[in-house]
Structure 1
Amino acid sequence: MSSQHARVFHSQEQVQHPVHQPNVVRKKVKVQKRWVTRGEKFMYILFAAITLSFSTYIVTYSSSLDQLNRNIDTLNTQIEEQSVHNANLTYKVKELSQPQRIIANAKEHGLKVGNTQVKQASEVTD
């Protein structure tokens, strides 16, 4: 055989396709390049869950603190109003317990007051 025939024969061998065997099943495996691994996905999800729960806790705490401050302000306003009311009542008590007013009221209702001196009682004892 000459060298040219050998080259042609060799090139024909390479061109021939292999015969498919019916019993052999070939699977095509696709290699996918993952941008994020499973471990990284787990870490990202865990971080997101922790961040979300912490944010929810902060908002809840802030809301309850704000509500508590509003209640305190309401109570302080009520205390101030009650203090003013008590001061007004104390002034009225002093005004109504003046001896001249009591004598005038007694005379108006027909009571006779002698030469006694009317004194204001500072304490009432039982």
Structure 2
Amino acid sequence: MSMEHARQHQPLRQPDRQRQVKVKVRKTGWISTGEKVLYSVATAGLLAASIFLVQFSADTDALNRDIRSLETDLAQQESQNENLAYQVKELSNPDRILRIAKENGLNIQNAKVKQAASVSN
């Protein structure tokens, strides 16, 4: 072998001070894995609380609307009951009863007609 050939196969040595060492640089994120888990749990909790609050508000609003509707129905029923009570008083007037009895041929002799306040069994 010749010297030239031997030089080609041998690596050239560089002086120690010019030798470069490759170092792997590991990049770290600005948020660690533990912080990511904590943030995810906190976000899920906040989302669940928001959904619960909206659902609770919707249910409360629906109940309030139902209450208002029932109060309106109650007021109408009370008005109808008062009208019917007034009609009962008018129809149970003793003079009216006597007049209708005479029109239908009923003869009343010395009888007093009284208005019944309530019916008892």
The normalised TM-score by structure 2 is 0.75
Amino acid in structure 2 at the alignment position of 1:79: L
- Residue number in structure 1 paired with 2:110: 115
Q: Which has the higher contact order (CA 8 A, sep 6+)?
A: 2
Deviation, 1:67, is 1.1
Between the aligned residues of both structures, percent identity stands at 40
Q: Distance in 1 between matches of 2:37 and 2:120?
A: 81
Give the root-mean-square deviation of aligned CA atoms.
2.5
Q: Distance in 1 between matches of 2:119 and 2:75?
A: 29
Deviation, 1:60, is 0.9
From 39, 62, 74, give the equivalent of 1:79.
74
- Equivalenced residue count is 106
1:70-109 matched pairs, under 5 angstroms: 70-109=65-104
From 34, 53, 63, give the equivalent of 1:39.
34
The normalised TM-score by structure 1 is 0.72
Give unmatched runs, 5+ long, in structure 2.
1-12
Deviation, 1:125, is 3.3
Deviation, 1:101, is 0.6
